[in-house]
Structure 1
């Protein structure tokens, strides 16, 4: 097998246009991160999932630009409105022309059931424009903006690409804004798990003995408690008079405090295998403190493996927030998350009339699957004995 790997090829249309030269990496001289990058690119499912999650987080960060409306905007006349058909062209006497629009509704209220019936009406068209001008707003909390990706030409005539909820709020806008909360909860919760897991697991694995026994018994007690009931108990203990922002940060801390034993066990096992290495003994003889040895020499040695474990832990955090919010013990309106949106699906009658209320559940499933694929790819790429790199 050749020891060189081509990182960029001049074949294909892009290679012919830009005439890029081949850049080869010598595997014998490549760093650990370069080897991980090579193996990760060969894991196609993980590589595509990384790009998908990058786009997802980009949309979540700049939700105000991508969401057509504010998540709290209501149109009482369009409660439980079904998704509208989207057309980019319109047929005229001169042929087809560019005219982005959605098919409007013919709304009638049933006198007996007081239920609104929506019938698509081709004559009623709701026109919209891309990168249109709207009311001034703040993008990501600090960037003044006045343009959005989708803007209706008539502000009094809204459109619902993914339908509306019981209060006539646009589901697409609420899902985009909810992604910011749900996806950030996983990152902040994993950061707490990362910090506590490395600290406690490092102390347990480095010192061993009685310290290790005490920490291991503590982790076993925490692991013996069922996760969901523990989340529910901790979530229910939060005061009802707290603001949505306070509950948001406390929920992330709760998720991180419950999940740290898994990370601590991984770190402990790695530390126990590394503490007898020669470079650790040399660092100790050089006068380094135990904390410096852990921080400067031991943690960087298996940091890539920790990153893979952390990536696999993020989906559990997202599921935890979704479960708590769905049960009414997590985040509460007016804060919007995918779990809060799924509270609408608790009503069977509403779900039977508006199946599009389950779209947030599909978003949770897709995001978690993508994160699991990335975690699997990182785990295989960080394993020096995995045969994927030899293919």
Structure 2
């Protein structure tokens, strides 16, 4: 009887189907998608990337085109209206009629309720080039005879919505270049410092400590101030990216060094050393993949910092130079308190900066929690 019971128990155990363990990537994705703020951050970052890549398609006007008849036009709010045949789903705006006050010398705008300006979805507008192909289609094409500026215009009559979208490309490009260079330098220095130790570690850490000891803001201003003023805008852009890269790698290097010190004594690394594996193979094949998840999280949290630094320097007028457009350069026009009081919509690029910083922070926090194996 006892043998029969044992046989029955064994067969019941064998009947239970064995489930294959989930891969680390699937586990991270399963923990990540449970966090709604992280998903919201991913959607924001994806939307910013799409707008930056196809900014001309989303821009209703040429961002460099000046309109002498519509200086400092206030934002026009899209509306819907009822007609005899029902609700019109195509949004419209009321055109503004400007008047000049001879006493205050101010130009005022008043909505003309007798006229309507409608959008044209996927309509023809100003020409632009993407990947060598010349196009003239836009998501929202305005009526050429009816000005329509959803975020208003600046002091030269340029459309603020178009300039904000074009500025997203340059600001995010600056953040991408700086973060890429900082990650490459910081990861390489941290790996070598933590793995080799000895005089290599001492030398690299003294250099890292020197960079960390530099006061960031005064050093930014000093380095940017020595940039040649007669240099072209693209030269200034890349020199500014180089300066930021040389000052942002040190923090990541310290973090990577700490991770490497903890990993270089684990069994699989010691086994690779015992089998005679070369140092480069150990660094690339064994250590780097295990710290890569931490580096990805640092990247998502470093990008908002670069966006804020670039915006601050360009706001002061020592960063990105015209005719290039960035979010910080757009805010440069709002640093005059008198203009800001009369034309508050010049601060609208701040909303784009806040959304970008919020999106990357939410994404970074979500990735950090998803990668942590001890998180709930």
Task: Give TM-score, length-normalised by structure 1.
Answer: 0.88
Asked whether the equivalents of residues 61 and 125 of structure 2 are also in contact (C-alpha less than 8 Å), the reply is no
1:196 lines up with 2:188 in the alignment: no
Asked whether the equivalents of residues 46 and 377 of structure 1 are also in contact (C-alpha less than 8 Å), the reply is yes
Per-residue displacement from partner, 1:276-331 (whole Å, max 9, x unpaired)? 12221222233332122111110101211111111111111111111111111110
C-alpha separation in 1, matches of 2:361 and 2:126: 39
Aligned residue for 1:246? 235
SS at match of 1:331: coil
> Max radius of gyration: which structure?
2
SS at match of 2:114: strand
| Structure 1 ranges of 4+ moved more than 6 A | none
Backbone CA RMSD of aligned residues: 1.7
Aligned residue for 2:357? 368
Question: CA shift at 1:385, angstroms?
Answer: 1.5
SS at match of 1:101: strand
Shift in CA distance, 93/51, structure 1 to aligned 2, threshold 3 Å: closer
Aligned residue for 2:310? 321
Per-residue displacement from partner, 1:359-389 (whole Å, max 9, x unpaired)? 1112111210111111111111111112x2x
Moved more, 170-179 or 282-291: 282-291
1:263-282 alignment runs, 5 A limit: 263-282=252-271
C-alpha separation in 1, matches of 2:88 and 2:331: 39
Per-residue displacement from partner, 1:110-134 (whole Å, max 9, x unpaired)? 1123210111110132233111022
Aligned residue for 2:140? 150
Question: CA shift at 1:96, angstroms?
Answer: 4.1
Shift in CA distance, 135/82, structure 1 to aligned 2, threshold 3 Å: closer
1:256-295 alignment runs, 5 A limit: 256-295=245-284
1:74 lines up with 2:66 in the alignment: yes
Asked whether the equivalents of residues 105 and 124 of structure 1 are also in contact (C-alpha less than 8 Å), the reply is no
Out of 94, 98, 120, the position equivalent to 1:103 is 94
Unaligned runs of 5+ in 1: 1-24
Out of 25, 39, 62, the position equivalent to 1:33 is 25
Question: CA shift at 1:135, angstroms?
Answer: 4.2
Per-residue displacement from partner, 1:159-203 (whole Å, max 9, x unpaired)? 110111111111000000001111121111110111001111111
Out of 46, 51, 62, the position equivalent to 2:38 is 46
Aligned residue for 1:83? 75
Matched length? 359
Shift in CA distance, 201/108, structure 1 to aligned 2, threshold 3 Å: same
1:129 lines up with 2:129 in the alignment: no
C-alpha separation in 2, matches of 1:314 and 1:97: 42
Shift in CA distance, 196/67, structure 1 to aligned 2, threshold 3 Å: same
Unaligned runs of 5+ in 2: 1-17
C-alpha separation in 1, matches of 2:85 and 2:32: 52
Aligned residue for 1:18? none
Per-residue displacement from partner, 1:344-370 (whole Å, max 9, x unpaired)? 111111100111111111211121011
Q: Which has the higher strand share?
A: 1
Question: CA shift at 1:217, angstroms?
Answer: 2.0
Per-residue displacement from partner, 1:66-107 (whole Å, max 9, x unpaired)? 000111111111111111121244x44555445532111121
C-alpha separation in 1, matches of 2:32 and 2:90: 43
